[in-house]
Amino acid sequence: MEQLTLTKIAEHLIAKELIDPEEEQQILSAKEAESATAWYIYALIAVAAWFSTIFFLVFFFLVMFRDPESVAFGAGLFMSVIAIIVNRTQNKDSIFFSQVSLAFNVAGQILMVLGFVFQRHEIAAICLFVIVLQAIMFYLYQHPVQHFAAPMAISCALFFLLHDIEGRQGYLEGPQSIHIVIGLLSAATGYFWYKESSFLKHRLFHYSLYGTTLSLLVMVSFSVFTRSHNLEMWWISGLILSLALLLLEFVLLGSLAKTTMGISILSASLLFCAMALHSPGLIAAMFTLLLGFYRGHKLLMLLSFIFLGGFLFFFYYDLEMTLLNKSLILMGSGALLIILSLVVNRTKLEVQNA
């Protein structure tokens, strides 16, 4: 079988008149820029930047210990502007300038949020400020760590915003707004991974996408730890994620969805989702794992397997379910993994034959 490369795929898309040569150059240049520095280097830069940020903040509060409230926002804004200027003007492959600007950026954002908190004490206003700030920095500050962290910060702020509105209005008993956030994250994760090829020309696209995916998996992790903390009705998230998983399978199956094999696959997946309805983490991990299979991203598959293993571990020791139900769902998980691999293999075979 011929080895597929990004260049060959781009040439095939040009031949089909799906993209133009200019877009091909953007895709290839973005891929080269993305692979120039390994992801773990950015992780080390992020850790170093966080330590630098701590020193910046300690220095600020030691100098301004008498009245930090009045200058925190201004100091944070100044540091963020410096970070943006350095990020925009210096070589993005320079690790030194990358680390310095990232430290200024993180410290500046923390100070701006603290300054806003000192002035305004309403939770809704603070959450809105965080969302707007992250959206602005996402656009202005072009760095992998910023693009990875922004979706997670926005997701958390959106949850607390909806929770605050929900608490004041008294719509539901307990913070059930997390299901809305999970629904939005599952839609964003599924759509952008499925349409990945349309966004390859954006250099930092994958960092944002991994941040969104991790936000989804972390949000559903609360289903494991919060069953006794007034956050119930997890069947809502289970239902949302079941619809997302079944819709993704239906789209990937294409014309096969109406055949006997396709109907059998969808029926088996529906049965698994029904059994795991109160454990949305299992469904979410299967959902992201299918996306990883489909796109062939080993890091996404590894992330999904880690969360799947964790969800299965906590799920098995959940005493609220009988041993029979646990055994059935564990067997169903294994069967669904085989089914998902079949779906992806048939989809790729159809694409190659097209």
pLDDT in tens, 264-313: 888 888 888 888 888 888 899 989 998 988 888 888 999 998 998 888 77
pLDDT in tens, 36-66: 555 556 666 666 666 666 666 666 665 555 5
pLDDT in tens, 193-215: 998 877 777 778 888 999 999 99
Is the whole model's pTM more than 0.95, yes or no? no
| pLDDT bucket at 243, cuts 50 / 70 / 90 | very high
Q: What are phi and psi of 32, to 5 degrees?
A: -65, -40
What pLDDT score was predicted for residue 24? Answer: 53
Q: Please choose, from the candidates 278, 271, 234, the residue with its C-alpha nearest in 3D space to the C-alpha of residue 249.
A: 271
* Nearest-5° Cα angle at 318, 312 to 320: 140
Relative orientation angle of helices 298-316 and 323-353, to the nearest 10 degrees: 160
* DSSP secondary structure, 202-244, as one string: STTHHHHHHHHHHHHHHHHHHHHH-TTTT---THHHHHHHHHH
Average pLDDT on 237-260 reads 88
- Give dist(CA 201, CA 254) in Å, integer: 27
Residue 259 gets which letter from DSSP?
Answer: S
What pLDDT score was predicted for residue 152? Answer: 94
Higher pLDDT, 212 or 344: 212
pLDDT in tens, 179-190: 999 999 999 999
Distances (CA, A) of 264 to 30, 245, 258, 261, 341: 40, 15, 10, 5, 14
Q: Please choose, from the candidates 113, 114, 102, 112, the residue with its C-alpha nearest in 3D space to the C-alpha of residue 52.
A: 102
| pLDDT bucket at 131, cuts 50 / 70 / 90 | very high
Q: Is the confidence at residue 228, as pLDDT, over 50? A: no
* Nearest-5° Cα angle at 204, 246 to 2: 65
